[in-house]
Structure 1
Amino acid sequence: MTIYDCAIIGGGPAGLNAALVLGRARRSVALIDNNQPRNAVTHASHGFITRDGVTPAEFRRIAYEEVLRYPTVEHLPIEVASVGRIESGFEICDLSGQRVQARKLILATGVKEVFPEIEGFYPLYGKSLFNCPYCDGWELRDQPLAVVSEYPDVFHKAKLLLSWSKDLIVCTNGKATLSDEQKQRLQSWGIAIMEQPIMSFIGHNGRLERIRFADGTEIPRTGGFVSPKFVQSAPFVEQLGCERTDMGGIKTDKGGRTSVPGLYAAGDASYIGPSQVVFAAADGSRTAMSVHMDLTEEEYG
């Protein structure tokens, strides 16, 4: 059986950029990606110079075209069932029993967003409701917007959004997440606060029209930002026994190395922060360099 220098699980920006760097370093790479990107609902990706406004599908097309120019990089379109440690490194098994072995392993599996269960949310998500203002704030500029969050980030997110629109309401969906001082400051900036539970988002053809609250109140809005909870996408993160951060990310050092020898993590799976393509790609590049350096030390001392 072929033993790759490195296997990469995940074909998002982090995994793809890691494969690019390792391919250019003439390392044998198994890029494992089942083509189920987290940002499939996203109409365009922003904030990446030379690629601002690119669709996720076009980004992946260009990335794969570039990555697979390097003969040592192989794309394996399989779905991982399990990952385990072996003497030579790691063994990945897919649902059919196919096995892939590698000396090093990069987890670029990303995270899943768990949104509050509010009727009408998903038909609007990715069209007029989003979670990252840096990704989609420009497209909603100067519109009447809602900031929806059950978490302490709601105050900070509302402040950020004032750069894009001054017509804001803050919705905590029945949770007491704001201090009295924060409420006073928000109100001083002209931001209304709705602390009652949200019954539904009402819209048409992907466009939000109004928000209905449990007490019957309705407020017209044309867009908004909803804060999710983030959880690891891959169940085998638990199997590998990686240390985790307080936010639930995979804990790494500055080179992407986890607490498990030979195992690395890149992108949203590790830092769980703003979901920016440019951040994830940079993290993949940095981690790939660490993998190459560590392999070189093992080979040449």
Structure 2
Amino acid sequence: MISEKDYDTIIIGGSYAGLSAAMALGRSLRNILIIDNGNPCNAQTPHSHNFLTQDGEKPAVIAKKAWEQVSKYHTVEFLNGLAVDGKQTADGFSIVTQSGETFSAKKLILATGISDTLPDIKGFAECWGISVIHCPYCHGYEFRGKNTGIMANGERAFHITSLVNNLTDTISVLTSGNADFSAEQMEKFRKHGIQIIETPVAEIEHENGHLSHVVFADGRKLAFDAVYAAVPFSQHSDIPVLLGCELTEQGHIKVDMMQKTTIDGVYACGDNSSMMRSVAWAVATGNIAGAMVNSALTGETF
């Protein structure tokens, strides 16, 4: 039952970053409200990696354990809902949910995540996070030595390919159009036996998200075990922009090393404010955000 009161902090987003921030604040006896609608971006990903003590664990299992641990701190409250609007007030901030409820707090932590914009390619969405993947650090070891595609172009494709080259000797770059690489980059591709395929991708053939072939627009079909894909994204929530938070050129919420946004009293953590998309990074930045909010609240009252 959500109490009718002002909170020290409202945390929008109750996944890894938001829960980490809540733990830091709960342990300092701050009155916290977490608003979350239970829709994490990695819901389809079967396993999380590169996180000490949790390597290979299912994301949902990590999240469940985190919720259980955070809920033991009696000053932390949870609301299953979607925050849709926010504004600054004389005393801090007010947040409105989709159901019409309004809550207020002195500080605000945005752990709202991002939304991937997936291409309209048959089979892509079903494989996303399983065998069509985004990060060599999160997924690469599991596909080491496998036949791998890089679905990207330009600098992004070159960067991903350079990292994946250490994991497998069989790489094809799928540019879906004219390749956009310098002569020096092309020479490195040739040196490492990496082929460039410019024909657009038409379909991903798979079984339960595990791809078997990439079908091209000309009807050609090639076997792959995994494909890395660089896809665009947008902020999962409109609230950062509604509050006036500045975004970076890449579209992330602009924060400093203490997770402060450009709006005083508003902090951001996790995927919405960094290109480092991992559970470990979300937990780390959430912990920093929580500690910095507690420090700010202390400075205002001590």
TM-score surpassing 0.5? Answer: yes
Distance of 2:271 and 2:128 partners within structure 1: 20
Q: For residue 275 of structure 1, what is the aligned residue in structure 2?
A: 277
User: Among residues 286, 291, 296, which one is paired with 2:288 in the alignment?
Assistant: 286
Letter in 2 for 1:157: I
Matched with 1:140 is 143
2:298 corresponds to which residue? 296
In 2, the alpha carbon distance for the partners of 1:95 and 1:207 equals 36
The answer to whether residue 48 in structure 2 is matched with residue 45 in structure 1 is yes
Contact 1:114–1:230 (8 Å) recurs in 2:
yes
Superimposed CA distance per residue, residues 246-274 of structure 1 (whole angstroms, 9 cap, x where no aligned partner): 11111112111111111111111112x13
- Aligned-partner residue type, residue 66 of structure 2: A
Whole-Å separation in 2 of the counterparts to 1:181 and 1:214:
29
2:155 is aligned with 1:152: yes
Q: Is 1:201 equivalent to 2:204 in the alignment? A: yes
- Residue 36 of structure 1: aligned partner: 39
In the alignment, what sits opposite 2:88? 85
What residue is the counterpart of 1:242 in the other structure? Answer: 245
Partners of 1:249 and 1:223 in 2: CA distance: 27
Q: Which moved more, 1:15-24 or 1:122-131?
A: 122-131
Q: 1:210 to 1:29 in 2, by over 3 A?
A: same
Paired residue secondary structure (1:137): helix
Q: 1:62 and 1:80 mapped to 2: Cα distance?
A: 24
Deviation at 1:57, TM superposition (A): 1.2
1:180 aligns with 183
For 2:60 and 2:148, the matched residues in 1 are separated by 28
Aligned to 1:108: 111
Matches of residues 55-134 of structure 1 in structure 2 within 5 Å?
Answer: 55-134=58-137
1:270–1:126 CA distance, 2 compared to 1 (3 A): closer
Q: What SS does structure 1 have at the residue aligned with 2:155?
A: coil
How large is the RMSD of aligned CA atoms in angstroms? 1.3
> In 2, distance between residues paired with 1:13 and 1:46?
14
Find the residue that maps to 1:123 and give its secondary structure.
helix
TM-score (norm 2): 0.95
Kept after mapping to 1: 8 A contact 2:121/2:201: yes
Deviations 1:109-158 (A, max 9, x none): 01111122222212222322111111111111111110111452100100
Displacement after TM superposition at 1:41 (Å): 0.4
Between 201-210 and 227-236, the greater mean CA deviation after superposition:
201-210
3-state SS of paired residue (2:130): coil
Equivalents in 2 of 1:172, 1:241: separation in Å?
36
Give SS of 1:116's match. coil
Quick one: distance in 2 between partners of 1:175 and 1:10?
40
2:182 and 2:14 map into 1 onto residues whose CA distance is 41
User: Percent of pairs identical after alignment?
Assistant: 37
SS of residue paired to 1:264: strand
Q: Please tell me the residue identity of whatever aligns with 1:291.
A: V
Is residue 203–residue 215 contact of structure 2 (8 Å, CA) maintained in 1? yes
Contact 2:205-2:214 within 8 A present in 1 as well: yes
The Cα shift of 1:224 comes to: 1.4
Q: Secondary structure of 1:15's partner? A: helix
- Does the 8 A contact of 2:179 with 2:196 survive in 1? no
Give secondary structure in 2 for the equivalent of 1:297.
Answer: helix
How many residues are paired up?
A: 299
| TM-score in terms of structure 1 length | 0.96
Q: Distance in 2 between matches of 1:206 and 1:246?
A: 32
